[in-house]
């Protein structure tokens, strides 16, 4: 079964929304909310995961550990873009690697844990070949919307959605990151729904230790579970990254307004020649055109905007979240 041929019904969409709220929600609870059996929910999840259109990934909130998040733009010659994008996607510190525009531009998200690592990334680690014609890096300063909260996933009624509540993060909680935690995160970044027994067997820790550390990391706001699903599967086939220049005095107001748009899955303030980055997901190119002209066009504080349609996604969610919630 190919991902681009999968069609989601009401049960599938309810499952996706439930997992957006709590990626490790028990299938029994999901089934109760949707009025189907636990086995039906498990079967649907396995089907969608096998088709390559749905997975849950464990992601570390880098800000809680003092990490920095960057968005990188590279321009390449047409013959090099695919290979460079593939090389970037293979790195453990990248996520959301996209080929943009005419296939000659790449964008990706990168996290760094220290100032020295940031310097090494910008000066030495990014691809430096004659076929990469330009590289720019923009530090993400804060966010007003994140992919894990995107409204396009939502399908449950508020009453049913209220049944799913992830462990609440405690401000100022323990943010220690032990060696066992690193092993667990490495496993969960590939499959966020591995059972405690499976994680124990793969990590060498006891099941009780696994359960205790996952709970502690979630409560500390260090670990979250994200639904990774292509927008096209949900009917949003026109995705674009928007780089905007906004009057500084109105930047916060514009960011908050855009974060309320159901089309938007990311809004972040950045450094660089533009100061606001957003990701828009629309039904088709006409829908995107309407969004840009009507919704974005009504925000007078936006002085300039560059739109880059996503041609192909090489990598989606990675192992780290860019910001603290």
Which residue carries 């999968």 as its tokens?
Answer: 6
- Mean pLDDT for the stretch of residues 131-149: 90
Question: Cβ contacts of residue 116 below 8 Å, gap of 6+?
Answer: none
DSSP 159-186: HHHTT--PPPP-TT------HHHHHHHH
* Closest C-alpha to 314, from 78, 126, 96: 96
What pLDDT sits at residue 91? 84
What pLDDT sits at residue 322? 36
* Closest C-alpha to 189, from 51, 22, 16, 60: 60
Task: Spell out the domains of the chain, with CATH numbers in brackets.
Answer: 3-57+175-227 (1.10.10.10), 63-149+231-321 (3.30.70.920)
SS3 222: coil
Residue 8 structure tokens? 């989601």
What pLDDT sits at residue 323? 35
pLDDT (tens digit, 9 = 90+) per residue, 280-295?
A: 999 999 999 999 999 9
Per-residue burial over 125-155, b if 16 or more Cβ lie within 10 Å, else e, is: ebbeeeebeeeebbebeebbbbbbbbebbbb
Residue 170, number of CB atoms within 10 A of its CB = 12
pLDDT (tens digit, 9 = 90+) per residue, 63-104?
A: 788 888 999 999 999 888 999 998 888 888 888 999 998 889
pLDDT grade for 324, boundaries at 50, 70 and 90: very low
Q: What is the dihedral of CA 22, 157, 325, 30, to 10 degrees?
A: 0
pTM above 0.75, yes or no: yes
Q: Residue 242: CA atoms inside 13 Å, Cβ hemisphere, count?
A: 30
> Does position 164 have pLDDT exceeding 50, yes or no?
yes
pLDDT (tens digit, 9 = 90+) per residue, 241-274?
A: 999 999 999 999 999 999 999 999 999 999 999 9
- CB contact at 8 A, 32 and 143: no
Q: How far apart are CA 105 and CA 75, in angstroms?
A: 4
pLDDT grade for 122, boundaries at 50, 70 and 90: low
């Amino acid at each position: 079964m190919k991902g681009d041929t999968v069609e989601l019904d009401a049960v599938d969409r309810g499952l996706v929304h439930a997992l957006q709220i709590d990626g490790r929600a028990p299938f029994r609870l999901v089934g109760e909310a949707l009025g189907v059996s636990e086995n039906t929910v498990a079967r649907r999840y396995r089907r969608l995961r096998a088709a390559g259109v749905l997975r849950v990934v464990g992601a570390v909130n880098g800000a809680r550990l003092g990490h920095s998040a960057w968005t990188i733009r590279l321009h390449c010659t047409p013959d090099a873009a695919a290979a460079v994008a593939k090389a970037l996607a293979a790195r453990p510190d990248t996520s959301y690697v996209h080929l943009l525009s005419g296939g000659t531009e790449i964008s990706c998200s990168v996290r760094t844990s220290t100032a020295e690592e940031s310097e090494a990334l910008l000066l030495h680690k990014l691809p430096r070949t004659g076929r990469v014609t330009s590289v720019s890096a923009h530090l993400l300063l804060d966010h007003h919307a994140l992919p894990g909260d995107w409204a396009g996933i939502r399908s449950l009624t508020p009453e049913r959605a209220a049944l799913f509540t992830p462990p609440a993060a405690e401000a100022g909680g323990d943010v220690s990151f032990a060696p066992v935690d690193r092993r667990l995160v490495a496993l969960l970044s590939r499959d966020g729904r591995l059972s405690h027994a499976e994680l124990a067997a793969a990590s060498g820790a006891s099941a009780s230790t696994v359960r205790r550390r996952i709970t502690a990391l979630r409560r500390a706001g260090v670990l979250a579970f994200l639904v990774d699903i292509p927008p096209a599967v949900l009917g949003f086939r026109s995705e674009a990254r928007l780089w905007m220049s906004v009057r500084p005095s109105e930047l916060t107001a514009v960011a908050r307004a855009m974060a309320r748009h159901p089309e938007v899955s990311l809004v972040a303030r950045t450094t660089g020649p533009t100061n606001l980055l957003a990701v828009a997901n629309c039904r088709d190119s006409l829908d995107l055109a309407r969004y840009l002209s009507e919704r974005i066009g009504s925000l007078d504080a936006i002085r300039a905007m560059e739109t880059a349609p996503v041609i192909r996604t090489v990598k989606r969610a990675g192992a780290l979240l860019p910001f603290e919630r």
